[in-house]
Structure 1
Amino acid sequence: MLADIDSAELTEWMAYEQISGPLGPERVDVLSSIVAATVANTARGKGQRAKEPADFLPKWDQGATAGAGDWEQMLTTVKSLNRRLRGNDLTEGGGHDA
């Protein structure tokens, strides 16, 4: 997959996933949280509160209330991931962190 898309498209998909939840079958995250709660509840001790599936469900779109300047940290992170994956930096000044 990484050979077929550039870093800009990958970044867009990463941002989309952060807002809308994981890519793939619809709401598989909810199904996974139900399984995780079931497993956790079978191992809980007597008198301990039962876990709810919501306790295991990721909180999507946490970045919606992010303050100004967060884009710079995101850019630094994306550039770092791009270097680790041996991607090409096609931004102006390519390869230099902001």
Structure 2
Amino acid sequence: MPVGELLARTSSRELTEWMAYERVTGPLDMRLRGEINAGIIAATVANANGAKRTAKPGDFLITWFKRKRTVQELWQEVMKANTALGGSIRKPE
């Protein structure tokens, strides 16, 4: 889907929520999740070559974040993304 069509069909709020979700879980597009496949291959190669301990695919995956963030930190990132996308905050009535 072209970016223009995506922006026409998706609200700023929904885009911000997806951006926050992706920052926590990693890329949504499985074509970008090649590190999973690479991890499987790397673990297989390591184990076939006599690794000192049994290697697992997870041993070779990218660490997205060094530490867990608090809810407040995640909320701040969501608010920054919302602002960057030109979103606004509506107060409940």
TM-score by length of 2: 0.46
Q: Determine which structure has greater relative contact order: mean sequence separation of CA pairs < 8 Å that are 6+ residues apart, divided by chain length.
A: 2
Kindly indicate which of the two structures has a greater share of residues assigned to helix: 2
